[in-house]
Structure 1
Amino acid sequence: MTSTMGGVERAAMRGLLGRLGEGVAPAPEWEEAFWAVPRHVFLPDTVWVGDDLVVCERGADPEGWLRAAYADGPVVTQVNDGREPGGELWPSSSASAPSIVFRMLAMLDVADGDRVLEVGTGTGWNAGLLAHRLGSERVTTIEVDSALALRAAIGLKGVGLAPRVVNGDGAAGYAADAPYDRIAATCSVREVPGAWVEQTRPGGVILVPWESPWCCYGLLRLTVGTRGTAIGRFAPHSAFMLMRNQRTDLRIYRDVVRDAQVPDESGTRLSPWTVAGKDWAARFALGLLLRDVWHAWHEGPDVDGVASRLWLATTDATAWAAVDRAGEGAERFTVWQHGPRRLWDEVEAAWRWWCAGGRPGPERFGVTVASDGRQSVWLDSPHRPVPVFRGGR
């Protein structure tokens, strides 16, 4: 236990455990680790909270900072990759919500003697929980950001733990300590790196948050087989920052749409909120079916007769579409499409396929990954591959 543990911190920790409740609370071995590896020890003095990224300074607002440390929610611990913000703030590292941390640790299902590679050290808290449970010598954690890796190592030392902290590209894994019984990522991926499969022993598990350009949602749990492949299914929920080497920094007006472009006009009865609203199962499925299409909402665009607009574009910025709603109660929507692909047509085809299949949730989808990185997505069985909807004019 660290010297920073006083009555206020203990009360905050007890409060968090009480709020987690039945079905979410950590198993006894992880609760023991929670008390030995306090979350607040791993947070920097400056954090950002809420969707608006409101800055919270430990020195100026110690009570607010501690509330953030023991709320069941993510805490942003770095913005703009650690560079001095010159304008817009965007999160680049965070401490995940405790409930999802404990859920992932349960799904990882470690046993005494297991060797674990964690990809994405971040604050170091998750690595600390693993090291307390398994022993420092059995945990390796890798972080691409050298400043984050150093700060995490200092935090771990402060609670008496010394897992191997590596500054490097997590997509390559860490072959020096392989093979691993478990690989756990604390960043989302759009493709599972083949190196992770190579570095996991047969029967071992890879657990990773999932993201598509359309939707960040879901956890993928893979079991590695004897022939250099890994296979597994998704579970719902979770949203993590994307692995840095898989990022795409695209904006509609900066990178995609040009004034001289003349789109084709059509109409649709499929509501844009149906495919890009609050139905996470639909959004998750469309992300698997479309693969390289992303979207952005534009509320109140400066266009006569348009109350809101859904933009769609490909990750290579060669095609785009927009769907306009005139006002409340509208049953038909105006569609604009430009480029070599008809993106809204692809969305409608993917939606029809998903509906015809019974609107399956994330748990019915799975992935097979080869050690060379090739991967296939399937529904219910590896023998039922999921189609990719990618059409032209």
Structure 2
Amino acid sequence: MTKDDQAAEQIAMRGLLGEVTADLGVPLARGWEEAFWAVPRHRFLPDRVWLGDGLDSRDRSTDPSGWLSAAYADDSVVTQINDGHDPGEDEPWPSSSASAPSIVFRMLDMLDVKRGHRVLEVGTGTGWNAGLLAHRLGAESVTTVEVDPVLAVQAALNLKKVGLEPEVIGGDGAAGYVASAPYDRIIATCSVREVPRAWVDQARSGGVILTPWESPWVCYGLVRLVVDAEGLASGWFHPHSAFMLMRNQRTDLRIFRDVVRDDHQPDESSTTLPPSAVAGDDWAAQFAIGLQTQDVWRTWHDDPDVDGVSSRLWLATTDATSWAAVDWDGRSNDRFTVWQYGPRRLWNEVEAAHAWWHNVGRPGPERFGLTVKTDGTHAPWLDRPDQMVSRTG
């Protein structure tokens, strides 16, 4: 490595540290800043990464400055597409990524680790997050689990190159890793729709579970749970973050392939609630609707080949038995056509969920909480555990 390369890396790291500090609003704690410098992010990224929704690639060999800029931008970078398989003629899609550094350090701060804590990380990815933890706590205190065997091997190599050797396990992170349990802290770098019971069982009394959260409706938020002596886990949601879903909780559903059929005869009605109010840029509304509908997902269809329709919001259940569509003609802002099919009236459910959210003061994620009961059932609540959030369907 030339002196110019080293200088460029140092400048890039200083710039990122400034961006992270600005995003968090406070300087990094001393221990995390030391880890930041000792465990350089670029040492964990593959030679080819992808950026943005368009998955524009940056190759270290042909565009070293572009690659380094991606490594030290305060943004996520995709590190694997299509589960590591050549997409061929299929559409490429992201299957693993390195999270934005500001959310990495925000979550590490929320984890509130102390010297002597044992930590389980679910979703090793590149190994950078595990490296930061290992530097702070000691490698012997960190176990990290990665479902993708190729990524697990590469992460272990990345860690070893910076002098860190936490326990890297190839396996299903939903099962935790009982051999090294119990844990004082469990952190996931993938989102979940249900907190695996194994995590709760493998946490000490008073232990913390921190994981990104998503519903089929929207991928948004974090949940921080504290486990009690009886095996109950309860805590608050927080805003921020959108992570890839844990692989064993994925659903691969498409409207025209899996849900809508030519012989379906939907019922027609109308609504004054704009589709954008429930599936637009209001993340608080989307989060609340997702907690209530639980198994309803949605997708936009812009400029469908339908006379008089400018855009269409599709809704469907994850079991593909019910669906709805809400059409906007591109002109009216107070009347939208609704089509519904199946045993459930999904748009009615979404309208009711939105009305409830509006009537209780339009709360953001930070006013909601979650309790994972000893039988594994999940109970979301508003403001306090006895104010349960009811399911719509």
Asked if the contact 1:272–1:310 (Cα under 8 Å) also holds between the matched residues in 2, the reply is: yes
1:167 counterpart letter in structure 2:
G
Partner of 1:33: 35
Per the TM alignment, residue 26 of structure 1 is displaced from its structure 2 partner at its CA by 2.2
1:9 counterpart letter in structure 2:
E
SS in 2 for 1:345: helix
The yes-or-no answer on 1:15 pairing with 2:18 is no
The yes-or-no answer on 1:225 pairing with 2:193 is no
SS in 2 for 1:21: helix
Which of 116, 124, 135 is matched with 1:121 structurally? 124
Asked if the contact 2:221–2:239 (Cα under 8 Å) also holds between the matched residues in 1, the reply is: yes
Per the TM alignment, residue 20 of structure 1 is displaced from its structure 2 partner at its CA by 2.5
Per the TM alignment, residue 329 of structure 1 is displaced from its structure 2 partner at its CA by 4.2
Map 1:3-82 to 2 at 5 A. 6-22=6-22, 23=25, 25-82=27-84
- Report the Cα distance in structure 2 between the residues aligned to 1:267 and 1:89, rounded to whole angstroms: 37
Per the TM alignment, residue 24 of structure 1 is displaced from its structure 2 partner at its CA by 5.5
- Report the Cα distance in structure 2 between the residues aligned to 1:111 and 1:92, rounded to whole angstroms: 32
TM-score by length of 2: 0.97
Superposed CA deviations along residues 203-224 of structure 1, whole A, max 9, x for unmatched, are: 1100000000001111100001
Task: Structure 2 unaligned segments of length 5 or more: list them.
Answer: none
Partner of 1:303: 306
SS in 1 for 2:301: strand
- Report the Cα distance in structure 2 between the residues aligned to 1:26 and 1:328, rounded to whole angstroms: 49
Map 1:142-181 to 2 at 5 A. 142-181=145-184
Asked if the contact 1:120–1:141 (Cα under 8 Å) also holds between the matched residues in 2, the reply is: yes
- Report the Cα distance in structure 1 between the residues aligned to 2:101 and 2:255, rounded to whole angstroms: 34
2:47 counterpart letter in structure 1:
D
Per the TM alignment, residue 336 of structure 1 is displaced from its structure 2 partner at its CA by 0.3
SS in 2 for 1:330: coil
Asked if the contact 1:114–1:134 (Cα under 8 Å) also holds between the matched residues in 2, the reply is: yes
1:287 counterpart letter in structure 2:
G
- Report the Cα distance in structure 2 between the residues aligned to 1:25 and 1:305, rounded to whole angstroms: 53
1:47 counterpart letter in structure 2:
V
Superposed CA deviations along residues 285-327 of structure 1, whole A, max 9, x for unmatched, are: 0000000000000110000010000000000011100000011
Superposed CA deviations along residues 51-105 of structure 1, whole A, max 9, x for unmatched, are: 1001111101111000000000000000000111122011000000000000000
TM-score by length of 1: 0.97
Deviates most, 22-31 or 250-259? 22-31
Asked if the contact 2:21–2:28 (Cα under 8 Å) also holds between the matched residues in 1, the reply is: no
- Report the Cα distance in structure 1 between the residues aligned to 2:190 and 2:374, rounded to whole angstroms: 20
Superposed CA deviations along residues 170-214 of structure 1, whole A, max 9, x for unmatched, are: 000000000100000000000001110111101110000000000
Map 1:64-143 to 2 at 5 A. 64-86=66-88, 87-143=90-146
2:19 counterpart letter in structure 1:
R
Partner of 1:192: 195
**Runs of 4+ displaced beyond 6 Å:** none
Per the TM alignment, residue 271 of structure 1 is displaced from its structure 2 partner at its CA by 0.3
- Report the Cα distance in structure 2 between the residues aligned to 1:26 and 1:241, rounded to whole angstroms: 25
Task: Summarize the Cα distance change of 1:384–1:65 in structure 2 as closer, same or farther, 3 Å threshold.
Answer: same
Asked if the contact 2:274–2:333 (Cα under 8 Å) also holds between the matched residues in 1, the reply is: no
- Report the Cα distance in structure 2 between the residues aligned to 1:76 and 1:254, rounded to whole angstroms: 27
2:141 counterpart letter in structure 1:
R
Superposition CA RMSD, Å: 1.3
- Report the Cα distance in structure 2 between the residues aligned to 1:21 and 1:116, rounded to whole angstroms: 25
Which of 274, 277, 282 is matched with 2:280 structurally? 277
Per the TM alignment, residue 357 of structure 1 is displaced from its structure 2 partner at its CA by 1.1
Deviates most, 89-98 or 7-16? 7-16
- Report the Cα distance in structure 1 between the residues aligned to 2:388 and 2:317, rounded to whole angstroms: 22
Task: Structure 1 unaligned segments of length 5 or more: list them.
Answer: none
Task: Summarize the Cα distance change of 1:74–1:250 in structure 2 as closer, same or farther, 3 Å threshold.
Answer: same
Asked if the contact 2:127–2:155 (Cα under 8 Å) also holds between the matched residues in 1, the reply is: yes
- Report the Cα distance in structure 1 between the residues aligned to 2:4 and 2:320, rounded to whole angstroms: 50
- Report the Cα distance in structure 2 between the residues aligned to 1:206 and 1:5, rounded to whole angstroms: 39
- Report the Cα distance in structure 2 between the residues aligned to 1:123 and 1:26, rounded to whole angstroms: 22
Asked if the contact 2:299–2:313 (Cα under 8 Å) also holds between the matched residues in 1, the reply is: yes
Deviates most, 91-100 or 49-58? 49-58
Deviates most, 120-129 or 321-330? 321-330
Per the TM alignment, residue 330 of structure 1 is displaced from its structure 2 partner at its CA by 2.7
Per the TM alignment, residue 4 of structure 1 is displaced from its structure 2 partner at its CA by 12
1:8 counterpart letter in structure 2:
A
- Report the Cα distance in structure 1 between the residues aligned to 2:283 and 2:320, rounded to whole angstroms: 25
SS in 2 for 1:378: strand
Asked if the contact 2:176–2:198 (Cα under 8 Å) also holds between the matched residues in 1, the reply is: yes
1:367 counterpart letter in structure 2:
L
Per the TM alignment, residue 273 of structure 1 is displaced from its structure 2 partner at its CA by 0.2
- Report the Cα distance in structure 2 between the residues aligned to 1:7 and 1:150, rounded to whole angstroms: 30
Per the TM alignment, residue 25 of structure 1 is displaced from its structure 2 partner at its CA by 4.3
